[in-house]
Amino acid sequence: DLAKIEAEIADLEDILAKPERQRAIVHDELKELADKYGDDRRPRIIPADGDVADEDLIAREEVVVTITETGYAKRTKSDLYRSQ
């Protein structure tokens, strides 16, 4: 029984001494969890038809730009500006 405990201690010390062995253990445990609890990707990624410009991603909205005497600039949505 003592020899079994000493062998386990030696094995655990070997794990602590070797980072590659630690990575292998973590990899195996993560793979096991993924196999047990993982599922297929639900959303499908489909390539877009055509080019998308940066301007297409910006929502169009009316804004008020205020510039102070010190040069500070602030952008406010126009509907919020009117309510102030």
pLDDT digits (tens, 9 = 90+) for 15-61: 999 999 999 999 999 999 999 988 887 788 888 777 878 888 888 88
What local confidence, expressed as pLDDT, does residue 83 receive? 61
Burial 60-70 (b: 16+ CB within 10 A, else e): eeeeeeeeeee
Distance CA 31, CA 36 (A): 9
Q: C-alpha 4: how far from its chain's center?
A: 43
Domain spans, the chain: 2-37
pLDDT at 82 over 70: no
More confident residue, 50 or 2: 2
Rg for the chain (alpha carbons), in Å? 30
pLDDT at 84 over 60: no
| pTM for the full predicted model | 0.45
